[in-house]
Amino acid sequence: MSNLWQCLEVLADGNYVAAEWAKLSGRHFATLRSTFLRDTQKRSRFIPCPHGCGCEHEIVEHAGGRLVGVCQCETWNCEDFSVSMTDATLLTFNTAKFGRALCKAFECDAQETKLRPARTWQIGTKFTNSVPVLLTIQDERALFRHVVSELSARLRQPFILLAPTSRLMDTVSREILEASKAGFFDLESNINISAIGNLSAKLPPGKLFQAFAPDAREITSDDEARRLFALLKALESESNYRKAPVTRVFQLYCLESQSRNAVAKACRCVPSLITLRLKSIEKRLGRKPAELRTLSTHFEKIADSLTDPNARRIHRRSAIDDADSDDER
């Protein structure tokens, strides 16, 4: 096995030397090591044999502090080898940091809470109705089923459950989740990890979790969509932003599901300015921008309003205004 997500299910519950993490995470080890693993400052007693025989060598300290891996097999098979302090140091998975990265990737409101089931955490909430977003890391099917049962019994409300893979999901666990109107999403299918450890959702989070968006606020008519869009146009008229007009930001971020960085690049400004625009949109429309993404299909009939002559004039002016400093109004 050489798979990042299965590696987490096997090793994320304890402390292991780098060689064990590297064996199971494969090509992802360097990324995992630099981003989500941390030194425990403790030295392991054993280290895997570097010759691949499957045995473990005891780490023995010789004179002068030199560390040596000594074969422990009844029938001695392997040569002793030098062990660096780095290789002997136990590493542990930084679950809190990983949870925050997932929260950002799935555009959740962060809320870190350790829950009662072992190796289970709430990492945030989603949408204006604060649907709990939970992470569990288990290595046995029975333990996973126990977590699903306990969460369903204790929460008594819909929730979003994340796990590294779907290999522990069975019919019983699925039925329990369906009865609780909860949803399961495995990270292996829904998260990308870059070479520098950045996590990103493979699908726009608003669409991925659309079933959990608040029904009471769902747009059900063109009139309601037009009302919201009129509020957006009024906001643009009142603000008259020179850079990153709110309708432009709305189109790129909410309708096209582009990231803040991508929207900033398209608008030729800094990401912090896009954040300010999104906050203005949320305040005026009364909906989080991520929630508006789930409703994008309802805006299709009025999308041509985004490209009216006045809007094009504003977009063209902002595109050539590269020399101006960022407008943080």
Please report which residue ranges of the chain form alpha helices under DSSP H.
4-11, 18-25, 29-35, 85-88, 95-105, 141-155, 171-179, 187-190, 205-208, 222-239, 246-249, 260-267, 271-285, 289-294, 309-319
Nearest alpha-carbon partner for 97 in 18, 197, 206, 5: 197
Q: How far apart are CA 326 and CA 215, in angstroms?
A: 38
pLDDT of residue 199: 95
Order across the sheet with 67-71: list the strands. 46-48, 56-61, 67-71, 81-83
Bridge-based pairing of strands 67-71 and 81-83 is antiparallel
Helix, strand, coil proportions of the chain in percent (round to 5)? 50, 20, 30
Q: How far apart are CA 46 and CA 165, in angstroms?
A: 29
pLDDT of residue 127: 87
| Cβ-proximal residues to 54 (8 Å cutoff; 6+ apart), any chain | none
pLDDT of residue 166: 95
pLDDT of residue 236: 83
**Could you give the domains of the chain?**
4-35+37-93 (no CATH), 95-212 (3.40.1350), 218-319 (no CATH)
Per-residue pLDDT of the chain (329 residues; tens, 9 = 90+): 448 899 999 998 889 999 999 989 989 999 999 999 999 999 999 998 887 777 889 999 998 889 999 888 777 678 889 999 999 999 999 999 999 999 999 999 999 999 989 999 999 999 888 999 999 999 999 999 999 999 999 999 999 999 999 999 999 999 999 999 999 999 999 999 999 999 999 998 988 998 898 753 444 556 667 778 788 888 888 887 888 998 889 888 888 888 889 999 999 999 999 999 999 988 888 777 877 776 666 676 665 555 444 444 434 343 334 334 344 44
What is the pTM (predicted TM-score) of this model?
0.68
* Farthest-apart Cα atoms in the chain, separation: 84
| Cβ-proximal residues to 304 (8 Å cutoff; 6+ apart), any chain | none
